[in-house]
Amino acid sequence: MQTLSFTLLQSQLYWEDKAANLAMFEKKILGIQERTEIVVLPEMFSTGFSMRPKTLAEEMSGETVSWMKRVAATKKIILTGSVIIKEEGHFYNRLLWVLPDGNLGYYDKRHRFAFAGEDQEYTAGHKRLIAQVKGWKINLQVCYDLRFPVWARQESKETPEYDVLLYVANWPERRSHPWRSLLTARAIENQSYVIGVNRVGEDGNGIYHSGDSMVVDALGNTLYHKKDEEDIHTIVLHKEPLMEVRERFPFWKDADNFKIVSNDGE
């Protein structure tokens, strides 16, 4: 059965300093020695979780997207992480999925963190993005989305619609227990691998982040977990044990039918 390798970059971020963050991440990415196919950066990796999009946002033709394309091509990887994007007068917390040939997909964060005012500065996305690589399907989501299980729920009763559920985040240490617990819950209820990549260190608002980046298998077993320290970790996921769990425990066939309706009626 096929394998898929991910490298998780748990890192401190320079507050609202794009040049410093891009230089730092480029050095780390180009220094990865293990064979890897997908490199995952945290949420708003070029700025930190800032509520100043009017100052920091870029268009899709801007510096950070161009940097992601160049690094993905140089390293021959898929590179993913979220950045602040301006498009048609709106600001988005946009997760980019950049292929080594320069093509890309994106997912705009659906659930904005109103507790920090994100809903006042950013426009919500309405469409999920499930990427495909080597026969694997990967559901891409951002931070606060983790608290809303319906948005991540496997929809099909014929066969699960994805194999990996991936979250990039700036999740504070003070709520690290929910982070770890919900990553594990999403893996169990969706019978999927779950990957969560978070930052470490204090941000410009004095909020500390403990990282706690994780990889969890479909039974809820923790395959990787790192707390408080910067870390670059490569993990190879195997399809065979995932398929065995789904065949032995085909719980998704008993799931409730549902339809997602957005708050604004779209």
Catalytically annotated residue among 18, 37, 58, 143: 143
Whether residue 28 lies in the annotated active site: no
Whether residue 43 lies in the annotated active site: yes
Catalytically annotated residue among 18, 37, 43, 58: 43
Catalytically annotated residue among 18, 69, 109, 226: 109
Phi-psi region of 2 (alpha: psi -120 to 50; beta: other; left: phi over 0): beta
Whether residue 26 lies in the annotated active site: no
In angstroms, what CA-CA distances link 204 with 15, 16, 49, 51, 227? Answer: 6, 8, 9, 11, 20
Please state, as a whole number, how many other Cβ atoms lie within 10 Å of the Cβ of residue 18.
Answer: 19
Could you tell me how far CA 42 lies from the centroid of its own chain? 7
User: What string of H, E and C letters represents the secondary structure of the chain?
Assistant: CCEEEEEEEECCCCCCCHHHHHHHHHHHHHCCCCCCCEEECCCCCCCCCCCCHHHHCECCCCHHHHHHHHHHHHHCCEEEEEEEEEECCEEEEEEEEECCCCCEEEEECCCCCHHHCHHHHCCCCCCCEEEEECCEEEEEEEHHHHHCHHHHCCCCCCCCCCCEEEEEECCCHHHHHHHHHHHHHHHHHHCCEEEEEECEEECCCCCEEEEEEEEECCCCCEEEEEECCCEEEEEEEEHHHHHHHHHHCCHHHHCCCCCCCCCCCC
Active-site residues: which are they? 43, 109, 143
